[in-house]
Amino acid sequence: MEQQKKILCVGLVCLDIINVVNEYPEEDTDSRCLSQYWQRGGNASNSCTVLSLLGVPCAFMGSLSAGPVADLHGHQQHQNWKPHYPAHEQGRNAEEQVKMIQQVQMYNSTLPQQHRITISVEIEKTRELLYQLFPHGDVVFVSKDVARHFGFESGEAALKGLYSRVKQGAILICAWAEKGADALGPDGMIIHSDAFPPENLVDTLGAGDTFNAAVIYTLSNGGSLQNALTFGCKVAGRKCGFHGYDSIREIFTDEQPKS
């Protein structure tokens, strides 16, 4: 039996301080806080958590501070990075990340296609330096904010306008909140999935990271781009119906994609 692929997430881990209120506050109004809790966050850390809850052996690479909040036990597995991991890079220090990716690409050049490391990158923030990551991912996630920064008002328009920035053969993906998500691959076909909002909207924090992780999970297991996009939207939508990430195990049981 083929060994399950391992995934390395590179990027940010941080502390999220969440205040729970009765309803979404209106601008310039005061709201009573019902409760407060601290939660480990950060795009790459969140995606690694979701991948682990989906049953994927994964690892996190980033800067950690001392203290219990940064503890990764219970979700991420501590492992040394070894070849054959698919790698997901959250756009942060892009100049250094490009150098890291180039090292992986050099390593890949010595291997047959089926053993090469697949690289995905996330371009979330509207920072010019991050845009140099576009041509360095086999799968590129571009955010709604970045798409709008370039003047696009839909996921489909963003994919058509930005695809020339990615390398030949790459997949470009853009999620657009309640409008779902779109993807464009080398065949030139736009693929779409509707959003799957929960019955009650509770917590959208980390929904994008959850979407990325679910898409990467499906693609790394040989699933189609359509199945990956749909599974990503389903898991992200269901995640918005509860606090945190622990119930993702239940989502996975209900929504596990087919290849």
Residue 2 has pLDDT above 90, yes or no: no
> How would residue 19 be classed by pLDDT, with cut points 50, 70 and 90?
confident
Q: What is the pLDDT of residues 37-46, one digit of tens each?
A: 888 889 999 9
Task: With respect to residue 79, please indicate whether it lies within any of the assigned structural domains.
Answer: yes
Reported pTM: 0.88
Task: With respect to residue 224, please indicate whether it lies within any of the assigned structural domains.
Answer: yes
Bridge pairing between strands 58-61 and 33-41? unpaired
Three-state DSSP class for residue 255: helix
Residue 149 has pLDDT above 90, yes or no: yes
> How would residue 80 be classed by pLDDT, with cut points 50, 70 and 90?
very low
What's residue 72's pLDDT? 54
What's residue 120's pLDDT? 95
Three-state DSSP class for residue 16: strand
Task: With respect to residue 105, please indicate whether it lies within any of the assigned structural domains.
Answer: yes
Q: What is the pLDDT of residues 233-258, one digit of tens each?
A: 999 999 999 888 887 877 666 666 55
What's residue 159's pLDDT? 98
What's residue 191's pLDDT? 97
Question: What is the total count of domains within the chain?
Answer: 1
Task: With respect to residue 27, please indicate whether it lies within any of the assigned structural domains.
Answer: no
Considering 61-70, 71-80, 210-219, the range whose residues carry the highest mean pLDDT is 210-219
CATH number of the domain within which 49 lies: 3.40.1190.20
Question: What single string gives the DSSP state of each residue in 122-159?
Answer: EE-S--GGGGGGGGG-SEEEE-HHHHHHTT--SHHHHH
What's residue 173's pLDDT? 98
Instruction: Give the mean model confidence (pLDDT) for residues 190-204.
Output: 94
Task: With respect to residue 152, please indicate whether it lies within any of the assigned structural domains.
Answer: yes
Task: With respect to residue 132, please indicate whether it lies within any of the assigned structural domains.
Answer: yes
Task: With respect to residue 106, please indicate whether it lies within any of the assigned structural domains.
Answer: yes
Task: With respect to residue 26, please indicate whether it lies within any of the assigned structural domains.
Answer: no
Strands (E), 81-132: 87-90, 119-123
What do you get for the CA distance between the two ends of the chain, in Å?
17
What's residue 77's pLDDT? 37
**CA–CA gap between residue 40 and residue 244 (Å, rounded):** 10
Q: Which residue range(s) make up the domain with 247? A: 7-20+35-255
Residue 145 has pLDDT above 60, yes or no: yes
